[in-house]
A and B are shown apart, each in its own frame.
Chain A
Amino acid sequence: MNKENKIIQNNSVGIVKTQVFTFDSFKLESGEKLGPVSLAYETYGVLNKEKSNAILITHALSGDAHAAGVHEGEDNPGWWDEFIGPQKAFDTDRYFVICSNILGGCKGSTGPASINPKTSKPYALDFPLITINDIVNAQKRLVDHLGIEKLLSVVGGSMGGQQVLSWLVNYPQALRSAVPIATTIKHSPQQIAFNEVGRQAIMADAHWKSGNYYEGSAPSKGLAVARMIGHITYMSDKSMAEKFGRAKKDVGETFKFTADFEVEGYLRYRGDNFVKRFDANSYLYITKAMDNFDASGGVRFDEVLQGTKVKVLVISFKSDWLYPAYQSKEIVKACKLAGVETTYCEIDSTYGHDAFLLEVEEETHLLKHFLKKIFYAYEVTGDYGA
């Protein structure tokens, strides 16, 4: 089967290209100024005349702007390819889908690895601390730049969900709906703890050199360990047991502490792969932004949401122990108290936190019907069947 056929069969958006939007100056929540700021982004589908069909997808910790389709000459589909395309959850025959790499990231947007115009060297730790709200404020600039006053929806899982909540709080007038998936109003001590271990692994790597590693070798071991910890928290006990069991690899090495078990090999593979595509300093800055985030801004979240007309769909997963369902229920509870029109579903998945990338059928059903309802602004129709 040639590539073109494969793309058509998968209902892919096809060949896509990452674009860059740059603005001169950007004020951070901390008061510090950063500039120029670039955001890498991709779009799929066509913006309609009324500009009423735009959906912003916000990515998770290790994600990027490449959410769907393939880049010219490459095989890797975007990270949410199964959700974005003709007839998919985010139906590109109907909607205009935007995804941008976050501020502080390392896949085309300005981050610690970018060149500091003052020194002509990478920022490294001179890069200011950023917040989830900063990330969202930058996205708002991009959305404005694209000429969109009101998004049909903003949708994201995990850290993407934190961004969704930030949008909901800071720009309710620019949204018709919001879909936070497997996320939280604020990190629990457990979530902060896992991130801190990841950060410590990076900073303990001798190559890290207080962040100034861009001219030498990167702290790959530390970053790989951080990613390995991450992957453990993204899976469930059951999904690990099903995927690996206690199966052993045939490594044929004589060293005592080789990766004997499949699960060890998997984690090493994931860790080693991650360092090829991710910047260790970005990992530090982004995880810190996640830990510091509190969508309620210190007051009760339902008070923050009071009076909003944005319609909300909250999704969680039963086996997700990193962002457990109770955290999603906190969001739902606040929506209830604030009288926000809300739908909540806890999907019975065994995949753990990774479920938001994997439970295609259930999520697609929820997203498709929810978005249709918002887009056509109907309360109810029988057309779609039950």
Chain B
Amino acid sequence: MARKDIQLDHEVILDLIKPKSTVLDLGCGNGDLLYLLIKEKNARVQGIEIDEQAIYKCVAKGLNVFHGDVDSGLTEFKDKSFDYVVLNQSLQQILHVDKVLIDALRVGKKVIVGFPNFAHYKSRLQMFFSGRTPVTGALPYQWYDTPNLHFLSISDFKNYCRLKKINVERSVCIGQTRRIPFLPNLFAQTGIFLISKE
């Protein structure tokens, strides 16, 4: 079922979203995911992105996008404005994760979160044997030059949801090319969660 033309995380997210939904993508980058959502799911979409050059690419794709940062981008939306709010590979770069997630769960009926798993076995091995901050495919940055502000694992996120009484409706854990159903906190590079409140 893997499609060569689509990134695996995008494919997973596409599967989680019902056709004709409204979707807000926080940190939408070049708009590739939103573009797919329109084409494949007939979705109505809106992006928020901080990078000006990425905005131009979104506009060239015909997407609606707001130039701004995710941390302040949500407050102005009404409750349940969207069927889904997506934070794919942007959660770890947000300053106030907790505040944004709570607001995302207010603005979206459901929230999809995708993040690199810090507890992937390669990271663990690097930490264990070299005693240094891991640099891997999913976490390719040096500690002194990284956009990532938070380092979390799949287990961390599950624990967070339990603490905050957030329902995990589905979780899909993936490696570079395939889904990882077995011991995901050890073997998955990326965790993708479909969550909701009530």
What residue in chain A is nearest B52 (Cβ atoms)? A348
Interface string of B87-109 (1 = CB under 8 A from A): 00000000000000000000000
Let me know if A386 and B64 touch, CB within 8 A: no
Residue of A341, A366, A382 near B64 (CB, 8 A) is A341
Chain B interface SS verdict (over half): mixed
Interface string of B10-29 (1 = CB under 8 A from A): 00000000000000000000
Set of chain B residues within 8 Å of A345, measured between Cβ atoms: 52, 55-56, 59, 67
Kindly identify, within residues 314 to 361 of chain A, every residue whose CB is under 8 Å from any CB belonging to chain B.
329, 332-333, 336-337, 339, 341-348
Let me know if A366 and B52 touch, CB within 8 A: no
Kindly identify, within residues 61 to 105 of chain B, every residue whose CB is under 8 Å from any CB belonging to chain A.
61-68, 76-78, 81
What residue in chain A is nearest B22 (Cβ atoms)? A339
Q: Is the C-beta of A33 less than 8 angstroms from some C-beta in chain B? A: no
Q: Is the C-beta of B1 less than 8 angstroms from some C-beta in chain A? A: no
Q: Is the C-beta of A384 less than 8 angstroms from some C-beta in chain B? A: yes
Q: Is the C-beta of B60 less than 8 angstroms from some C-beta in chain A? A: yes
Residue of B38, B61, B65, B76 near A386 (CB, 8 A) is B61
Known: A336-B77, A362-B56, A380-B38. A342 touches B62 (CB 8 A): no
Interface string of B149-176 (1 = CB under 8 A from A): 0000000000000000000000000000
Let me know if B64 and A381 touch, CB within 8 A: no
What residue in chain B is nearest A333 (Cβ atoms)? B76
Q: Is the C-beta of A73 less than 8 angstroms from some C-beta in chain B? A: no
What residue in chain A is nearest B73 (Cβ atoms)? A336
What residue in chain B is nearest A342 (Cβ atoms)? B64
Let me know if A337 and B78 touch, CB within 8 A: yes
What residue in chain B is nearest A386 (Cβ atoms)? B57
Set of chain B residues within 8 Å of A255, measured between Cβ atoms: none
Set of chain B residues within 8 Å of A346, measured between Cβ atoms: 52, 67-68
CA distance A329 to B60 in the complex (A): 22
Let me know if B66 and A337 touch, CB within 8 A: no
Q: Is the C-beta of B39 less than 8 angstroms from some C-beta in chain A? A: yes
Interface string of A352-376 (1 = CB under 8 A from B): 0000000000100110011011000
Set of chain A residues within 8 Å of B63, measured between Cβ atoms: 343, 380
Q: Is the C-beta of B35 less than 8 angstroms from some C-beta in chain A? A: yes
CA distance A386 to B29 in the complex (A): 12
Q: Is the C-beta of A379 less than 8 angstroms from some C-beta in chain B? A: yes
Chain A interface SS verdict (over half): mixed
Set of chain B residues within 8 Å of A337, measured between Cβ atoms: 76-78
Let me know if B76 and A342 touch, CB within 8 A: no
CA distance A58 to B68 in the complex (A): 27
Set of chain A residues within 8 Å of B57, measured between Cβ atoms: 386
CA distance A337 to B62 in the complex (A): 21
Set of chain A residues within 8 Å of B64, measured between Cβ atoms: 311, 341-343
Set of chain A residues within 8 Å of B59, measured between Cβ atoms: 343, 345, 365-366, 369-370
Q: Nearest chain B CB to A248's CB is how many angstroms away?
A: 37
Q: Is the C-beta of B190 less than 8 angstroms from some C-beta in chain A? A: no
Q: Is the C-beta of A385 less than 8 angstroms from some C-beta in chain B? A: yes
Q: Is the C-beta of A378 less than 8 angstroms from some C-beta in chain B? A: yes
Known: A343-B65, A346-B67, A380-B39. A336 touches B60 (CB 8 A): no
Interface centre among A342, A344, A370, by most chain B C-beta atoms within 10 angstroms, is A344
Known: A345-B55, A365-B56, A366-B56. A380 touches B62 (CB 8 A): yes
Q: Is the C-beta of B30 less than 8 angstroms from some C-beta in chain A? A: yes
Q: Nearest chain B CB to A71's CB is how many angstroms away?
A: 34
Known: A332-B66, A337-B77, A342-B66. A380 touches B61 (CB 8 A): yes
Can you list 10 A-B pairs, Cβ within 8 angstroms, ordered by A? A343-B59, A343-B63, A344-B65, A345-B56, A345-B59, A346-B67, A365-B56, A369-B59, A380-B63, A386-B30
Given contacts A332-B66, A337-B77, A380-B35, 8 further A-B contacts (CB under 8 A): A329-B68, A333-B76, A343-B66, A344-B65, A345-B59, A372-B62, A382-B35, A385-B60
